Amino acid sequence: MRVIDNHTRLYGVIGHPLIHTMSPTIHNAAFEATGINAVYLAFDTLLLEKALDGLAAIGCLGLSVTIPYKEELIDYLKFIDPMAKEIGAVNTLVNKSGSWIGYNTDATGALRAIEELCEVAGRHCTILGAGGAARAIGFALKEKGCHISIVNRSRPRGEKLAQELDAEYLPLDKLAMINTDIVLQTTPVGMYPKVNDVPFDPGKVRAEIVMDIIYNPFETGFLKQCREQGATTIPGARMFLYQAAEQFKLWTGMEAPMEVMEKALLQLLRNDHLTR
């Protein structure tokens, strides 16, 4: 058991609702493993501005930001990293002398998860979905020089993102015709507890590598079918771990203990299915 004393530093996640958040478990495991005297808590709030001011005032050093505040939060920030500004969403805050600086580690986390397997520069990537996570990943891939196609249920949203990314938009019925290297499934369909739902027909996906960014369950039905068809698959847990590792580095200046964080996450995912 760690000792909490007058030197203990404070970190946390801000959002609403936060009943499903797995961030406290993995960040506390990381602090414990590295011997950093810090604690990471869940701050479930409907009062975003007051919570940000209050937490900055009491010396909270860093925050993760989750649904529904990733975009709205930008209005309250004086300082924002250029990539997060371009994406239009922030998932990480660092307290610098009482002011919050915003970053987006969803983008870098997704990229690191893919680049464990292959270089992405010059490759063709198809993003399924056009929401907040698709945007973050799309900008990271664009910066790396990927050719991008967006496939989305609603055409206006898909076309808008495609235009911003200098990418092409394709409707769902063209999915089977796309000749692509990497597919990224970014919709929430298939997430626990609706684990049998599938957003797109995996039979129409022809790609060497497929990533589903959902991390609960560990392997979605979509990802399982793609794996059985011969694709190399990346579970969303890799992206989740890397985005958290990037946060840890921004907050502490240290490399994150990935193995410890992964162990804590996998244990939580196993227990989660048993307890809900």
Residues in touch with ligand NAP (CB under 6 A): 106, 109, 129-134, 152-154, 157, 186-189, 191, 199, 213-215, 236, 239-240, 243
18 or 56: CB nearest ligand NAP: 18
Determine whether 70 is an active site residue.
Answer: yes
Which stretches within the chain are classed as H helix?
Answer: 23-34, 48-57, 82-87, 105-115, 132-143, 155-164, 221-228, 236-252, 258-275
Report the nearest approach of ligand NAP to the CB of residue 169 (Å): 11
By CB atoms closer than 10 A (0-12, 13-18, 19+), residue 264 is: buried
Comparing CB distances to ligand NAP, the nearer of 56 and 209 is 209
Sign of the alpha-carbon dihedral angle for 210, 214, 219, 224: negative
Q: Pick from 42, 39, 40, 41: which is nearest to 19 by CA? A: 42
Q: Give the pair of three-digit tokens for residue 189.
A: 């369909």
Taking CB positions, which residue lies at the least distance from ligand NAP?
131
Q: How far is the CB of 132 from ligand NAP (least distance, A)?
A: 4
Choice between 96 and 194, CB closer to ligand NAP:
194
Q: How far is the CB of 50 from ligand NAP (least distance, A)?
A: 24
Are the CB atoms for 127 and 199 separated by under 8 Å? no
Q: Is the dihedral of CA 275, 67, 39, 249 positive or negative?
A: positive
Active-site annotation holder among 50, 70, 96, 194: 70
Shortest separation between residue 49's beta carbon and ligand NAP, angstroms = 21
**Beta carbon of residue 23, minimum distance to ligand NAP (angstroms, whole number):** 10
Q: Specify the residue, 56 or 133, whose C-beta has the smaller distance to ligand NAP.
A: 133
Among candidates 20, 13, 3, which has minimal Cα distance to 62?
13
Which residues on adjacent β-strands are paired with residue 100?
A: 95
Burial class (CB within 10 angstroms; exposed 0-12, middle 13-18, buried 19+) of 88? middle
Q: Which is nearer to ligand NAP, 236 or 257 (CB)?
A: 236
The catalytic residue positions are 70
